[in-house]
Structure 1
Amino acid sequence: MFIEVSPAAQAAKKTKYCSFIALKACALVLFLSVSALAQPVIDTTKFGQHPRLLLSKNDEERIKTLIKQDTLWRNVHQSIITECDAMLMAYPQERTLIGRRLLQVSREALRRVFFLSYAWRITGQKKYLKRGEEELLAVSSFPDWNPDHFLDVAEMTMATAIGYDWLYSGLSPKSRATISKAIIEKGLQTSMDSKYNGWLRASNNWNQVCNGGLTFGAIAVYENQPQLSVNIISRAITSVQTPMKEYAPDGNYKEGYSYWGYGTSYNVFLISAIEKVFGTDFNLSGQPGFMKTAAFYQQLIGVSGIPFNYSDAGGVEGLQPAMFWFANKLNDPSLLFVEKGYLQTSKFNAKTNRLLPAAMIWAGNTNADAIKAPADLMWQAKGENQVAIMRTDWRRYNGIYVGFKGGSPSVSHGHMDVGSFVADFGGTRWSADLGMQQYNSLESAGLSIWEMGQNSQRWDVFRYSNLSHSTLTVNGHKQAVQGDAHLKKASDNPLNMYAVMDLTSAYHEDLNKAERGIAIIDKQYVVVRDEIETGDKECSIRWAMLTPAKVASVEGNSLWLASNGKKLKLQVDGVEGVTLQTWGTDPPHNYDALNPGTILVGFEIKVPAHTRKTFNVYLLPASKGTPPKPTTELKNW
Structure 2
Amino acid sequence: MRYMLVFLLLVSLSFASAQPAYQPPTLAVISEKIKDLPPHPRILLLKDREQDIRQRFQQPNVLSNLHQAILAESENIIGLPPVERIQIGRRLLDKSRECLRRVFQLSYAYRVTGDRRFLARAEKELLAVSGFSDWNPTHFLDVAEMTMAVAIGYDWLYPHLSVGSRQKIRTAILEKGINPSYDKQYNSFLRSTNNWNQVCNAGMTFGALAIAEDEPELAARTIQRALETLPVSMAVYAPHGAYAEGYGYWDYGTSFNVLMISALETALGTDFSLSALPGFMKTGSFLQNMIGPIGLVHNWGDGGVKAHFNPAMFWFAQKTGEESLLWNQLPDLSGDQTPNVKNRLIPTAMIWGATLRGRDVPKPKALLWFGQGLSPVALMRTSWDDPNAFFVGFKAGAAQVNHGHMDAGSFVLDALGERWAMDFGMQNYHSLESKGVQLWGRAQNAQRWQIFRYNNFVHNTLTVNNELHRVEGNPRIDAQSGDPKFLSVVSDLSDVFKGQVEKAKRGIAIRDGKSVVVRDEVKTTDRPALIRWTLLTPATVKIIDGKTVELSQNSKKMYLKFDSDTAIKIRTWSTDPVHDYDAPNPGTIRVGFEADVPAGQERVFNAIFSATPGPEGTTSPLASWPSDGIQKN
- TM-score of the aligned structures, taking structure 1 as reference length: 0.93
Structure 2 distance, partners of 1:626, 1:362, is: 51
In structure 2, do the counterparts of structure 1 residues 239 and 396 end up closer, same or farther at CA, with 3 Å as the change threshold?
farther
Partner of 2:619 in structure 1? 631
Structure 2 distance, partners of 1:233, 1:303, is: 41
Asked if residue 322 in structure 1 is aligned to residue 309 in structure 2, the reply is no
Q: What is the letter of the counterpart of residue 609 of structure 1? A: A
Which moved further from structure 2: 344-353 or 282-291? 344-353
Q: What is the letter of the counterpart of residue 336 of structure 1? A: L
Asked if residue 424 in structure 1 is aligned to residue 414 in structure 2, the reply is yes
Partner of 2:4 in structure 1? 13
Partner of 2:455 in structure 1? 465
Q: Deviations over 1:523-567 (max 9, x none)?
A: 111000001111122211110111111124532210111122211
Q: Deviations over 1:5-27 (max 9, x none)?
A: xxx6xx56247799xxxxxxxxx
Q: Deviations over 1:73-128 (max 9, x none)?
A: 12111221222222122221111111111111111110111111111111111111
Structure 2 distance, partners of 1:225, 1:355, is: 27
Q: What is the letter of the counterpart of residue 305 of structure 2? A: G
Shift of 1:154: 0.3
Structure 2 residue corresponding to 1:123, chosen from 102, 113, 130: 113
Structure 2 residue corresponding to 1:605, chosen from 595, 603, 606: 595
Partner of 2:442 in structure 1? 452
Structure 2 distance, partners of 1:509, 1:142, is: 54
Structure 2 residue corresponding to 1:232, chosen from 222, 225, 235: 222
Structure 1 residue corresponding to 2:405, chosen from 379, 392, 415: 415
Structure 1 residue corresponding to 2:350, chosen from 353, 356, 360: 360
Structure 1 residue corresponding to 2:207, chosen from 214, 217, 221: 217
Q: What is the letter of the counterpart of residue 623 of structure 2? A: K
Structure 2 distance, partners of 1:316, 1:17, is: 28
Structure 2 distance, partners of 1:274, 1:527, is: 48
Structure 2 distance, partners of 1:15, 1:211, is: 21
Q: What is the letter of the counterpart of residue 470 of structure 1? A: N
Q: Deviations over 1:490-524 (max 9, x none)?
A: 11111011100111111113111111000111111
Q: Deviations over 1:194-242 (max 9, x none)?
A: 2211111211101100111111111111122111011111211221111
Q: Is the 8 A contact 2:141 2:199 kept in 1?
A: yes
Asked if residue 39 in structure 1 is aligned to residue 29 in structure 2, the reply is no
Structure 1 distance, partners of 2:446, 2:3, is: 11
Partner of 2:584 in structure 1? 594
Asked if residue 572 in structure 1 is aligned to residue 556 in structure 2, the reply is no
Q: What is the letter of the counterpart of residue 181 of structure 1? A: T
Q: Is the 8 A contact 2:66 2:339 kept in 1?
A: no
SS of 1:272's partner is helix
Q: Is the 8 A contact 2:531 2:595 kept in 1?
A: yes
Shift of 1:579: 4.1
Q: Is the 8 A contact 1:323 1:336 kept in 2?
A: yes
Shift of 1:607: 1.1
Which moved further from structure 2: 485-494 or 81-90? 81-90
Shift of 1:616: 0.2
Partner of 1:5 in structure 2? none
Structure 2 distance, partners of 1:628, 1:495, is: 15
Structure 1 distance, partners of 2:49, 2:184, is: 38
Structure 1 distance, partners of 2:49, 2:584, is: 46
Which moved further from structure 2: 527-536 or 87-96? 87-96
Q: What is the letter of the counterpart of residue 39 of structure 2? A: Q
Partner of 2:12 in structure 1? none
Q: Is the 8 A contact 2:22 2:277 kept in 1?
A: no
Structure 1 distance, partners of 2:59, 2:226, is: 38
In structure 2, do the counterparts of structure 1 residues 353 and 110 end up closer, same or farther at CA, with 3 Å as the change threshold?
same
Q: What is the letter of the counterpart of residue 588 of structure 2? A: T
In structure 2, do the counterparts of structure 1 residues 227 and 396 end up closer, same or farther at CA, with 3 Å as the change threshold?
farther
Structure 1 distance, partners of 2:565, 2:358, is: 50
Asked if residue 197 in structure 1 is aligned to residue 184 in structure 2, the reply is no
Asked if residue 283 in structure 1 is aligned to residue 270 in structure 2, the reply is no
Partner of 1:525 in structure 2? 515
Which moved further from structure 2: 348-357 or 440-449? 348-357
Structure 2 distance, partners of 1:279, 1:351, is: 30
In structure 2, do the counterparts of structure 1 residues 563 and 59 end up closer, same or farther at CA, with 3 Å as the change threshold?
farther
SS of 1:175's partner is helix
Structure 1 distance, partners of 2:591, 2:471, is: 24
Structure 2 distance, partners of 1:583, 1:529, is: 22
Q: What is the letter of the counterpart of residue 4 of structure 2? A: K
Asked if residue 141 in structure 1 is aligned to residue 131 in structure 2, the reply is yes
In structure 2, do the counterparts of structure 1 residues 382 and 405 end up closer, same or farther at CA, with 3 Å as the change threshold?
same
SS of 1:511's partner is coil
Q: What is the letter of the counterpart of residue 380 of structure 1? A: F
Q: Deviations over 1:334-375 (max 9, x none)?
A: 111111222225666634310011111111221343311111
Q: Is the 8 A contact 2:422 2:538 kept in 1?
A: yes
SS of 2:75's partner is helix
SS of 1:222's partner is coil
1:483-632 to 2 correspondences below 5 Å: 483-622=473-612, 627-632=615-620
SS of 2:401's partner is coil
Structure 1 distance, partners of 2:68, 2:25, is: 45
Partner of 1:23 in structure 2? none
Q: What is the letter of the counterpart of residue 486 of structure 2? A: N
In structure 2, do the counterparts of structure 1 residues 518 and 112 end up closer, same or farther at CA, with 3 Å as the change threshold?
same
Q: Is the 8 A contact 1:554 1:580 kept in 2?
A: no
Asked if residue 435 in structure 1 is aligned to residue 425 in structure 2, the reply is yes
Which moved further from structure 2: 569-578 or 235-244? 569-578
In structure 2, do the counterparts of structure 1 residues 597 and 368 end up closer, same or farther at CA, with 3 Å as the change threshold?
farther
Q: Deviations over 1:163-196 (max 9, x none)?
A: 1111112211111100000001111111111221
Q: Deviations over 1:592-631 (max 9, x none)?
A: 1111111111111111111111110000013xx7742210
Structure 1 distance, partners of 2:53, 2:304, is: 31
Partner of 1:343 in structure 2? 333
RMSD: 1.9
Asked if residue 474 in structure 1 is aligned to residue 464 in structure 2, the reply is yes
Structure 2: tracts of 5 or more residues without a match: 10-20, 626-633
Partner of 1:292 in structure 2? 282
Partner of 1:29 in structure 2? none
Q: Is the 8 A contact 1:484 1:506 kept in 2?
A: yes
Structure 1 distance, partners of 2:406, 2:336, is: 35
- TM-score of the aligned structures, taking structure 2 as reference length: 0.93
Q: What is the letter of the counterpart of residue 58 of structure 2? A: K
Which moved further from structure 2: 453-462 or 549-558? 549-558
Q: Is the 8 A contact 1:403 1:423 kept in 2?
A: yes
Partner of 2:16 in structure 1? none
Structure 1 residue corresponding to 2:167, chosen from 160, 177, 181: 177
In structure 2, do the counterparts of structure 1 residues 35 and 192 end up closer, same or farther at CA, with 3 Å as the change threshold?
farther
1:44-123 to 2 correspondences below 5 Å: 44-123=34-113
Q: Is the 8 A contact 2:396 2:410 kept in 1?
A: yes
